[in-house]
Structure 1
Amino acid sequence: MTSSAAYLVPALAVGVPVGVYALFLGLVSIPYVQRFAVYAHKVNTLWWPPHNPNRPERWGFAKNQVTPFTLKTIDNQTLYAWHILPLGLYAKHEAALAAQDRSSSGGFVSDITSSLNFKLLRNDPEARLVLYFHGNAGHITQSIRPRSFHALTSVSSKIHILAIDYRGFGLSTGSPTEDGLILDARAAVDWATHVAGIPPERIVLLGHSLGTAVATVAAEFYSCGTTSTSGPYSDNGPRNTTNDATNTRDRSQKPLEFAGLILIAAFSSLPTMLSGYSIAGWLPVLRPLTYWPWLLRKVMSRIVDKWQSDQRLTALTKFAKSRGRKFNLTLIHARNDWDIPCHEDDKLFRGAVKGLVEAELGVGIDYGGSDGLEDETEEERERIKRAEERDVERAVETVLREEKGKRTAERWMGDGSKKEKERGFVTTWYDEGVTIRQELFPYGGHNNIMFYSPVPLAVMRAFGLVDEPESRLN
Structure 2
Amino acid sequence: MSPRGATWPSVLIAGLAAPFVLYITFIGLGSIPFFQRHFLYAHKINTLFWHDLDCPEYWAFARNQVTPFTLQTADGEKLYAWHVLPTSVYLKHEDALLKAAPGRSSAAESTAAFRLLKNDPDARVIVSFHGNAGHVAQGFRTDHYHSLTDTSNYHLLTIDYRGFGKSTGKPSETGLILDGVTLANWVMEVAGVPADRIVVMGQSLGTAVTSGVVEHFALQGVDFAGMILIAAFSNLPQLLTSYTAGGIVPVLSPIKNIQPVVRSIQKFIVDKWPSDDRIARIVENTSRRLRLTLIHAKNDAEIPYLQSNILFRSAAQAVLGKVLEDAEFETWKAGVTTVHDDGTFTAIATSSGQDQPDIIVREEIVRYGGHNHVMMSSTIPLAVMRSFEN
The two structures share one fold, judged by TM-score above 0.5: yes
Counterpart-to-counterpart distance in 1, 2:33 and 2:58: 37
- Shift of the alpha carbon at 1:351? 0.9
Counterpart-to-counterpart distance in 2, 1:101 and 1:290: 55
Choose from 222, 237, 254 the match for 1:288.
254
In structure 1, the residue corresponding to 2:18 is in which secondary structure?
helix
Counterpart-to-counterpart distance in 1, 2:227 and 2:188: 16
Residue 403 in structure 1 maps to residue 327 in structure 2: no
Cα pair 2:291 2:360 within 8 Å, conserved: yes
**Where do residues 92-131 of structure 1 align in structure 2 (5 Å cutoff)?**
92-102=92-102, 107-131=103-127
In structure 1, the residue corresponding to 2:247 is in which secondary structure?
coil
Choose from 12, 16, 19 the match for 1:17.
19
Choose from 40, 43, 60 the match for 2:42.
40
Match of 2:355 in 1: none
Q: CA RMSD in A?
A: 1.9
- Shift of the alpha carbon at 1:214? 0.2
**Deviations 1:83-134 (CA, angstroms, capped at 9, x unpaired):** 11100111011111111123xxxx1112111122111111111110111100
Counterpart-to-counterpart distance in 1, 2:363 and 2:371: 16
Counterpart-to-counterpart distance in 2, 1:263 and 1:7: 51
Amino acid in structure 2 at the alignment position of 1:286: L
Match of 1:240 in 2: none
Counterpart-to-counterpart distance in 2, 1:26 and 1:196: 46
Choose from 196, 200, 211 the match for 1:201.
196
Counterpart-to-counterpart distance in 2, 1:457 and 1:6: 61
Counterpart-to-counterpart distance in 2, 1:354 and 1:198: 32
- Shift of the alpha carbon at 1:269? 0.7
**Where do residues 290-369 of structure 1 align in structure 2 (5 Å cutoff)?**
290-320=256-286, 325-357=288-320, 360=321
Match of 1:373 in 2: none
Counterpart-to-counterpart distance in 1, 2:108 and 2:120: 16
**Deviations 1:295-344 (CA, angstroms, capped at 9, x unpaired):** 11111111111001011011111223xxx531110000111111111111
Counterpart-to-counterpart distance in 1, 2:10 and 2:61: 61
In structure 2, the residue corresponding to 1:332 is in which secondary structure?
strand
In structure 2, the residue corresponding to 1:409 is in which secondary structure?
strand
Choose from 132, 141, 153 the match for 2:137.
141
**Deviations 1:333-376 (CA, angstroms, capped at 9, x unpaired):** 1111111111110000011122224xx35xxxxxxxxxxxxxxx
Deviates more, 1:432-441 or 1:201-210: 432-441
Amino acid in structure 2 at the alignment position of 1:190: N
Match of 1:425 in 2: 345
Unaligned runs of 5+ in 1: 226-254, 362-391, 413-421, 466-474
**Where do residues 381-396 of structure 1 align in structure 2 (5 Å cutoff)?**
392-394=323-325
Unaligned runs of 5+ in 2: 353-357
Cα pair 1:178 1:305 within 8 Å, conserved: yes
Rg (Cα) greater in structure = 1
**Where do residues 244-283 of structure 1 align in structure 2 (5 Å cutoff)?**
255-283=221-249
Counterpart-to-counterpart distance in 1, 2:118 and 2:297: 35
Cα pair 2:130 2:203 within 8 Å, conserved: yes
Counterpart-to-counterpart distance in 2, 1:45 and 1:178: 24
- Shift of the alpha carbon at 1:448? 1.1
TM-score, normalised on structure 2?
Answer: 0.94
- Shift of the alpha carbon at 1:148? 0.6
Match of 2:32 in 1: 30
Residue 172 in structure 1 maps to residue 167 in structure 2: yes
- Shift of the alpha carbon at 1:411? 2.0
Cα pair 2:242 2:303 within 8 Å, conserved: no
Counterpart-to-counterpart distance in 1, 2:136 and 2:386: 25
Counterpart-to-counterpart distance in 2, 1:17 and 1:208: 31
Counterpart-to-counterpart distance in 2, 1:69 and 1:281: 34
- Shift of the alpha carbon at 1:397? 5.0
Report sequence identity in percent. 45
In structure 1, the residue corresponding to 2:179 is in which secondary structure?
helix
Counterpart-to-counterpart distance in 1, 2:14 and 2:76: 51
Cα pair 1:155 1:456 within 8 Å, conserved: no
Counterpart-to-counterpart distance in 1, 2:332 and 2:281: 21
**Deviations 1:430-466 (CA, angstroms, capped at 9, x unpaired):** 114111000011111111111221111111111128x
- Shift of the alpha carbon at 1:4? 6.6
Match of 1:213 in 2: 208
Residue 189 in structure 1 maps to residue 191 in structure 2: no
Match of 1:445 in 2: 370
Amino acid in structure 2 at the alignment position of 1:434: I
Counterpart-to-counterpart distance in 2, 1:181 and 1:397: 37
- Shift of the alpha carbon at 1:267? 0.5
In structure 2, the residue corresponding to 1:428 is in which secondary structure?
strand
In structure 2, the residue corresponding to 1:291 is in which secondary structure?
coil
